[in-house]
Structure 1
Amino acid sequence: MININTLTATELSEKLNQKTPLFLLDVREPNEVAICAIAGATHIPMNLIPLYLDQIPDEIDIVIYCHHGVRSLNVANYLAENGFETQHLYNLSGGIDAWALTVDKLMPRY
């Protein structure tokens, strides 16, 4: 089992506020993104990740999120198995739902 780093929604918010260079990757389905999204995220649905590996930078931290953090963890493991450095991979703990509960309380939840 690959050890993937996790970030809480609060930690991610702090990194974004500090303008820390990172690649925010939303792996949810288009119908989910239509409900809510974190500003600045790149949307690549989980099932399309293999087709877009070349569009994911490998030299900066990558924060991956989905609804609750399960799909994003699977994507993080997939990226690690495909040559991405694990020290640059982060799974958003609790996903966008945790973000809506702790950071952006006006964000729609589903």
Structure 2
Amino acid sequence: MMAGVPQMTANELSLLVKGNAPHFILDIREIHEVETGHLEQSVHIPMAFCLSRQAEIPRDIPVAVYCRSGARSSAIVSALMTKYGFTNLHSLTGGITAWAKDIDPQIEVG
């Protein structure tokens, strides 16, 4: 986890998903990881393309960014905030691994 990077727990994301408020879930893992299992509503943009495709990421609603453990998502959130001025991004603490542990044990992490 990187200092100063906004975080969101699996429980917080679960509440956001269950609520009616608009939100966006960004999966930045590699394609083979996504094929193993992913969060249902997520949009896949591999980490290597997040900066070049940053225009596809909404700026006006909460965005949860996830990877397997939270390290890559923290790095991308930091980079997008620093280089492009995003203020609405959160890294999923513990990544999809935490989601599988705390919310949905049926999801395959790989």
TM-score (norm 2): 0.92
* Alpha-carbon shift at residue 59 of structure 1 (Å): 1.2
Q: Tell me the CA shift for residue 100 of structure 1.
A: 0.5
C-alpha root-mean-square deviation of aligned residues, in Å? 1.4
Residue in structure 1 matched with residue 57 of structure 2 by the alignment = 56
Given that 1:76 and 1:89 are in contact with CA atoms closer than 8 Å, whether structure 2 keeps it comes out as yes
Report the CA distance between 1:109 and its aligned residue.
2.7
Structure 1 outlier segments of 4+, above 2 Å: 82-86
- Alignment correspondent of 2:47: 46
Tell me if structure 2 keeps the 8 A contact 1:22–1:61. Answer: yes
Residue in 1 aligned with 2:75? 74
Contiguous gaps of at least 5 residues in structure 1: none
* TM-superposed deviation, 1:8: 0.8
- The two structures have a TM-score, normalised by structure 1, of 0.92
Give aligned-pair identity as a percent: 34
User: Could you report, residue by residue, the CA deviation over 1:46-85 in whole angstroms, capped at 9, with x for unpaired residues?
Assistant: 0011221111111111110000000000100111012333
Indicate yes or no: 2:23 matched with 1:18.
no
Instruction: Give the unaligned 5+ runs of structure 2.
Output: none
Aligned length: 109
Range with greater deviation from structure 2 (33-42 or 75-84): 75-84
Q: Is the 8 A contact 2:68 2:109 kept in 1?
A: no
Asked if the contact 2:33/2:109 (under 8 Å) is kept, the reply is no
